[in-house]
Every structure is written in structure tokens, then in C-alpha cells.
Amino acid sequence: MKGTVGELGEFGLIRELTSRLTTTPAVRLGPGDDAAVVAAPDRRVVASTDVLLEGRHFRRDWSTAYDVGRKAAAQNLADIAAMGAVPTAILLGLVVPAELPVTWPTELMDGIRDECQVAGAAVVGGDVVRGDTITVAITALGDLRNHEPVTRSGAQPGDVVAVTGWLGWSAAGHAVLARGFRSPRAFVEAHRRPEPPYHAGPAAAGLGATAMTDISDGLIADLGHIAEASKVRIDLRTAAIDVPTQMSDIGQAVGVDPLQWVLTGGEDHAIVATFPPDVKLPARWKVIGEVVNPSALPQVTVDGAPWDKAGGWDHFGDAEPEDPAGSGHPAG
Amino acid sequence: MKGTVGELGEFGLIRELTSRLTTTPAVRLGPGDDAAVVAAPDRRVVASTDVLLEGRHFRRDWSTAYDVGRKAAAQNLADIAAMGAVPTAILLGLVVPAELPVTWPTELMDGIRDECQVAGAAVVGGDVVRGDTITVAITALGDLRNHEPVTRSGAQPGDVVAVTGWLGWSAAGHAVLARGFRSPRAFVEAHRRPEPPYHAGPAAAGLGATAMTDISDGLIADLGHIAEASKVRIDLRTAAIDVPTQMSDIGQAVGVDPLQWVLTGGEDHAIVATFPPDVKLPARWKVIGEVVNPSALPQVTVDGAPWDKAGGWDHFGDAEPEDPAGSGHPAG
């Protein structure tokens, strides 16, 4: 595939993109008509939208188009799973400069398609527009399969807090990349391509999760959303939180407490949920804290005390640090 | 509401936007969680995505933020209606520069909300990101209410072609604006704010429409999509197509055959469909042509002959004219 998207033209690019797609039984009508039709057997559909901009959410020199596609899809599909739903479909709104090589959007689409396949979903439609800044707007849909949606507002004092998936790996990989290194590869890969535990979302709904979210902004920040919505406090126990040896090594090399990555690093899209205390959790869930009554303390505490370095991330704030990756979490 | 979106911050802006929304019984969970939940009683969901860019699809000096919101929502909701579905929900992905006054996105949201209300839908979620170019990425959802989706591929020779809604009004309004005028207001208003006949889509599905689409690129262009997908030719009869007197007057004033606007002007989001010849159509549908066997002629003909001036619109093509509105149709 040679040439630029401007040379190929709008309809040529759309043909090229849709020709790469695969389908699933849930896709009743795929791309090419006024709208797509997707099965929604539960009689409710779960839907979420995210927008990624070049220079803010990804860098072409750090991530391939394929990895951007994997990551963009993963972040949306994880939102669906975090409601307790099974992802079914993605729609893609894409802005591309005319001078962009055609291989960039086609490899992006390959990445979106492959991540959809991991989650059991398919790309069913979209729109392509020419513009100055590469923009990837993704909407993901999902089906609840007769579970009630697990919101952020159902956590109860006495519940346990449990997590499954990777924590802090993307942040550690970001710290490595930001210092000009390309290894350790496992962490760089984790930054480029998260692996959300999609299956764990619906499974948690089946296990009676009282509140759930995926970790896109950081464990403390995202648990803060649950604590606020549920009007509770959440206390994390650092003794229960594993820091991999290799992550500790990176932390030592770059002068960062690796616990900081685990507690505040985003973009791994692990899934964290609260459960009644008597829940029997599968092996890959780890209990890392508990839900308690609200108090004068912050809504999320670590070993009973405020976590000094925790902070939100405001994409508009004046205080925003210059983060070339715009990756949604402080660089360390 | 004073200040810029940068001063208000991401969370402040999201609060401001969501506080303006209304809801419907179909909204089971609105904005604020990982994803929204929308009723899909048909067990299938219809979904469509469009992306609008400032400078390409709208101009801030020609349209208010409110009108951009109305138009952006209308174009997506019309896609849902054109499948024969009832619109239920919209998700909004929004890119805004930090220096943009807060009133712009809030008025945009008012417009999206109000257009949703016309169509019976509601805004259920979205994402807001800071970036250089205002970008409005909308995904609309809808419910088929036990109708089969009406695609572009079911037109049969012998079917009649019928249309409902406005034709050429947006193009005539665009021609007026492009020449620096602000009146006649009815046409300028039609360019700023289309009025798709949402109810007509599901009604047409109930009447047995064999193919259907909304007119976003122009009557001939969009019927071309039906003719191609259905492997038929469509012949339009100009004697059956009304050109309003006031549109003729504008045509004379600017030196354009107004039939050109009616046949090739986009963005009015009228709904055109093919029906079996014995259909009894409600009063506001007008039969304007028929479906015939394919031949050596173009896929859409006018009074049995090619329409010279008809042409597609390629957002990427080198031959694209400089159209400051980027409005998706030639300026006349």
C-alpha cells in the first residue's frame, strides 16, 4: 500500500479500511450503509466514547499505528467490560492529514481490528475526514447478558477492593521511553499496548461486584471516582500490592518509587471492583484494600493515610506539565 | 458562563456540559460512569458515527455553536432514521482549544440536546479533549422496533422512488452565504439547521420500503449509492420535482439553475426511499422517479438521460474546490 491518503481519496481509503475488517455473529449489518446494526440480546446496549489526539495521547515516533489502534480500541473496550458487559462492536471516527501515508490508517485499522478480536468484538462502521491533526474517536458497544450494569456508585462499607490485570506497567514504560530508552521491553510494550482483562468485567458482575471501573487514570484516581459516587472511603493496603522486581529495578534506575506507578499510573486498564466481603474470587483477582465509612480523610487512603503524591490529571488545567506523550498520567 | 475552557478545566467543562442534558425513559444510565446504558428493546441496536471539523464542515462566523450542535446531531440522527429506526441516544466526542470561550461548547451541547429532543433521543455520554481544531465526533444509536433495517441494497426494478423532507434548501442557503448575503432567511436557516423528517424513516420501514437513505451528499449522489448497492438504475422525473419559487429567484440572482441545488445539494437530510409500485404513501411523500433495470446509462438518470452537472464529493481529492465551508457539496 503506497501513497498518501490524499492520493487515495476518501472513498478509496474507506474501501481499503473496510476490506481489512473481520466480523462476528453479533454484526447484523457492517460498514457501508447509513448505519450499522449490532445484536443487543440483553435489550440494553452499553456505549462509551473516547477521543485520542496525536501529540496528546500518542506519538508516532513512540508507537506504531498498529499499537495506537490496539491501545485506542483497548481503552474503549475496557470501559465496556468495566460495566460488566461483553464488548460487541466499535465505530471509528478518524481524522487524517492528506499527506499521511496510507499505511498509517490501514495499520491503525489492523490494530483496532485485532484488539476487537481479543475482546470478541468487531468494527462495524465509522467516518473518515481530512484534517490537520490525526484524531481517533472510538465508540464501543457492549451487551450486559442479563447482568445489571456495575456502576461506580454501589460500593458499601465492609466490601473488599480487588483488582485484576496490570498495574503501573504503562507508567513505568512511559518513564523508560521519556528518558530515551527502549527497554526493558515488557514495560515499553505495556505502555504501547495495554492488555485489559476483558473477561474479568462480566465475570465480576456475575460474582456480585458492587462497584467497578477500569484503571485509565490511575488506581487512586479511579478508585476516587468509586469512592465519590458511592459516598465511601477506600483504604488500600500496600502490603497486599505486589511491585514486580523488574519494576523496582527501573524505579531505582530513574529515581522513582515504583509504588507511585502502581498507585497512580494510568492506561493499563486493569479492572478494579468492590465485592461483598464473603465473595470467593478467582485466582487472578487480588484483594488490595477495603471500603470503609467516609471520614475527614481523603476518599482514597493508603494504609490509612493520605497518599501525598497522588493527583488527578486535568487535560485543560494551567498546571498541566509539558508531557509530550499526553498520556493521561504524570510522567513519574 | 464566562472564561475559556482552559480556565474551567476538563472536569469543570464536563460538569457544565452534562448539567444541561435532559433524559428519556430509554436512558438506563446517563453520563458519568465508564459507559452509558441505553434501552434496545428490539434486541438489535443501530449505530452510526460522523466527524465534523471546524473550517471543513462548519464555520464559526456562519453558524452559531448552537446551530452546529443542531446540525451535527441532525446528520447523525438522520442516518439512524434512514435505516428505519427510532433514534435513542447520542455520544459526543469533542475536541476544543483551551482558549475557546466556554459558551461555545455549552451552546453546542444545547443544540445537540435540542435536536435530540426533536428526534426523541438523549445525549448519554462522551469525551472532551483539548486540541487545536474544534472537532465534533458524534455517534448516534437507535432502535428498530421490530422492523427489518432498510438498507441501500433492496431496490427492485418497478419500484417507485419517493422523497420526504427538504431538497436543495441547504445548498441554496450556502450559495447565499458564500456570496456574502444573509437572506432569504429561510434558506440560510436551512443551511445552518436542517430539519430531517425523523419520523418518516421508521414509517417508511413500516410501509415496506425496499431501500432507503438520507440525503447528505445530494439526491443524485445518494440515490447512486442505492442504485449501486441494489444493482439497478434509478430514473428521476424533473416534472415531478418541485422547485420553490423563492429558490428559483435565488437561482436567477446568483446565476445557478436551482434544479442543480435540488438534485445535487446535500445536508438537508431529506429521506429518499424506494417502495413497491402499489404502495400507498402518506401525503408528505412525493414520488419523483422509478427504479429500472441497469443499462449502459449512469446509475442515476434524470428524465432518462445523464445529469451533466452531477458529481460526487471527495473530501480528499486533489480536484476538490476551495470551499471554505467544506460543507460537503459544491458551492453551486
> Is any Cβ of chain B less than 8 angstroms from the Cβ of A53?
yes
Compute the average pLDDT of residues A267-295: 96
Per-residue pLDDT tens digits for A89-135? 999 999 999 999 999 999 999 999 999 999 999 999 999 999 999 99
Nine-digit cell string for A228: 465519590
Mean pLDDT of chain B: 91
What is the pLDDT at residue A1?
A: 64
User: Worst-scoring range by mean pLDDT, A18-32, A49-63, B302-316?
Assistant: B302-316
> Is any Cβ of chain A less than 8 angstroms from the Cβ of B85?
yes
Question: Does the structure show a pLDDT above 60 at B325?
Answer: no
Burial call A241-280: b when 16+ CB within 10 Å, e when fewer? bebbeebeebbeebebebbbbbbbbbbbbbbbbbbeeebe
Is B34 in contact with A127 (Cβ distance < 8 A)? no
Compute the average pLDDT of residues A222-244: 96
**Could you tell me which residues come within 8 angstroms of residue B54 by beta carbon, excluding any fewer than 6 positions away?**
B60, B133, B134, B135
Burial call A300-321: b when 16+ CB within 10 Å, e when fewer? bbbeeeebeebeebebbbeebe
What is the pLDDT at residue A329?
A: 35
Per-residue pLDDT tens digits for A78-92? 999 999 999 999 999
Chain A residues in contact with B98 (beta carbon < 8 A): 316
Closest chain B C-alpha to A246 CA, distance in angstroms: 31
C-alpha angle A183-A185-A187 in degrees, rounded to nearest 5: 95
* Nearest C-alpha neighbor of A225 from the set A274, A172, A262: A274
What is the pLDDT at residue A101?
A: 97
Closest chain B C-alpha to A59 CA, distance in angstroms: 14
Chain B residues in contact with A33 (beta carbon < 8 A): 83, 149, 151-153, 213, 229
What is the pLDDT at residue B61?
A: 87
Chain A residues in contact with B318 (beta carbon < 8 A): 6-7
Identity of the residue numbered A242: D
Mean pLDDT of chain A: 91
Tell me if residue A272 falls in helix, strand or coil. Answer: strand
Closest chain A C-alpha to B16 CA, distance in angstroms: 14
Q: What does the alpha-carbon distance between residue A256 and residue B293 come to, in Å, rounded to a whole number?
A: 72
Tell me the fold of A6-143: 60s Ribosomal Protein L30; Chain: A; (3.30.1330)
Compute the average pLDDT of residues A47-56: 96
Alpha-carbon distances of A227 from A36, A149, A290, B284, rounded to whole Å? 37, 17, 11, 54
Binding-face residues of B in 110-169 toward A, CB within 8 A: 124-133, 135, 137, 139-142, 144, 149, 151-153
Q: What does the alpha-carbon distance between residue B33 and residue A163 come to, in Å, rounded to a whole number?
A: 18
Confidence at B308, pLDDT banded by 50, 70, 90: confident
Q: What DSSP letter does each residue of B75-137 carry, written as one string? A: HHHHHHHTTT-EEEEEEEEEEE-TTSBTHHHHHHHHHHHHHHHHHT-EEEEEEEEE-SS-EEE
What is the pLDDT at residue A310?
A: 45
> Is any Cβ of chain B less than 8 angstroms from the Cβ of A318?
yes
Q: What is the domain partition of chain A in residue ranges?
A: 6-143, 160-302
Strand partners, B213: B272
Q: What does the alpha-carbon distance between residue B226 and residue B274 come to, in Å, rounded to a whole number?
A: 9
To the question of whether residue A103 is assigned a binding role by annotation, the answer is no
- Chain B's closest residue to A13, CA to CA, is B316
Q: What does the alpha-carbon distance between residue B23 and residue B66 come to, in Å, rounded to a whole number?
A: 19
To the question of whether residue B267 is assigned a binding role by annotation, the answer is yes
Closest chain B C-alpha to A198 CA, distance in angstroms: 14
C-alpha angle B202-B205-B211 in degrees, rounded to nearest 5: 120
Compute the average pLDDT of residues B231-244: 96
Confidence at A304, pLDDT banded by 50, 70, 90: very high
> Is any Cβ of chain B less than 8 angstroms from the Cβ of A40?
yes
- Work out the number of other CB atoms within 10 angstroms of the CB of residue B43: 17
Q: What DSSP letter does each residue of A7-66 carry, written as one string? A: HH-HHHHHHHHHTT----TTEEE-TTSSSEEEE-TTSEEEEEEEEEEBTTTB-TTTS-HH
* Nearest C-alpha neighbor of A123 from the set A147, A152, A101, A90: A90
Nine-digit cell string for B213: 437513505
> Is any Cβ of chain B less than 8 angstroms from the Cβ of A327?
no
> Is any Cβ of chain B less than 8 angstroms from the Cβ of A255?
no
Hey, what long-range contacts does B277-280 have (CB within 8 A, 24 or more apart)? B277/B158, B277/B159, B277/B160, B279/B160, B279/B162, B279/B207, B279/B208, B280/B207
Binding-face residues of B in 187-246 toward A, CB within 8 A: 212-214, 229
Nearest to A53 among B49, B56, B95 (CB): B95
Q: For chain B, give the longest Cα–Cα distance.
A: 61
Question: Does the structure show a pLDDT above 70 at B320?
Answer: no
To the question of whether residue A308 is assigned a binding role by annotation, the answer is no
Nearest to A124 among B37, B47, B131 (CB): B47
What is the pLDDT at residue B181?
A: 87
Q: What does the alpha-carbon distance between residue B236 and residue B161 come to, in Å, rounded to a whole number?
A: 8
Q: What does the alpha-carbon distance between residue B171 and residue B169 come to, in Å, rounded to a whole number?
A: 5
Beta strand extents in B120-218 (DSSP E only): 122-130, 135-143, 160-164, 211-214
**Could you tell me which residues come within 8 angstroms of residue A317 by beta carbon, excluding any fewer than 6 positions away?**
B6, B9, B10
- The answer to whether A45 touches A149, Cβ cutoff 8 Å, is no
> Is any Cβ of chain A less than 8 angstroms from the Cβ of B15?
no
Is B127 in contact with A91 (Cβ distance < 8 A)? no
Compute the average pLDDT of residues A199-214: 98
Q: What does the alpha-carbon distance between residue A68 and residue A73 come to, in Å, rounded to a whole number?
A: 8
Question: Does the structure show a pLDDT above 80 at A9?
Answer: yes
Quick one: angle between helices B185-192 and B245-254, nearest 10?
90
Is A56 in contact with B131 (Cβ distance < 8 A)? yes
What is the pLDDT at residue B131?
A: 96
Residue showing cell 460537503 = B328
Alpha-carbon distances of A331 from A155, A174, A193, A267, A328, rounded to whole Å? 30, 7, 17, 12, 9
**CATH number of the B160-302 domain:** 3.90.650.10
* Nearest C-alpha neighbor of A134 from the set A49, A21, A58, A50: A58
Closest chain B C-alpha to A273 CA, distance in angstroms: 13
What is the pLDDT at residue A309?
A: 65
Pick the residue of A16, A33, A34 with the most B CBs within 10 A to test the interface with B by mutation: A34
Chain A residues in contact with B127 (beta carbon < 8 A): 49-51, 137
- Chain B's closest residue to A152, CA to CA, is B33
Chain B residues in contact with A14 (beta carbon < 8 A): none
Q: How far from the centroid of its chain's Cα atoms is residue A9's Cα?
A: 32
Pick the residue of B34, B53, B133 with the most A CBs within 10 A to test the interface with A by mutation: B34
Question: Does the structure show a pLDDT above 90 at B330?
Answer: no
What is the pLDDT at residue B319?
A: 36
Nearest to B316 among A5, A52, A83 (CB): A5
To the question of whether residue A230 is assigned a binding role by annotation, the answer is no
- Chain B's closest residue to A90, CA to CA, is B47
Compute the average pLDDT of residues A313-319: 42
Nearest to B11 among A9, A213, A314 (CB): A314
**CATH number of the B13-143 domain:** 3.30.1330.10
To the question of whether residue B18 is assigned a binding role by annotation, the answer is no
> Is any Cβ of chain B less than 8 angstroms from the Cβ of A16?
no
Compute the average pLDDT of residues A195-201: 97
Per-residue pLDDT tens digits for B132-190? 999 999 999 999 999 999 999 999 999 999 999 999 999 999 999 889 888 899 999 99
Chain B residues in contact with A153 (beta carbon < 8 A): 33
What is the pLDDT at residue B117?
A: 97
Strand partners, A172: none
Nearest to A149 among B37, B132, B144 (CB): B37
> Is any Cβ of chain A less than 8 angstroms from the Cβ of B59?
no
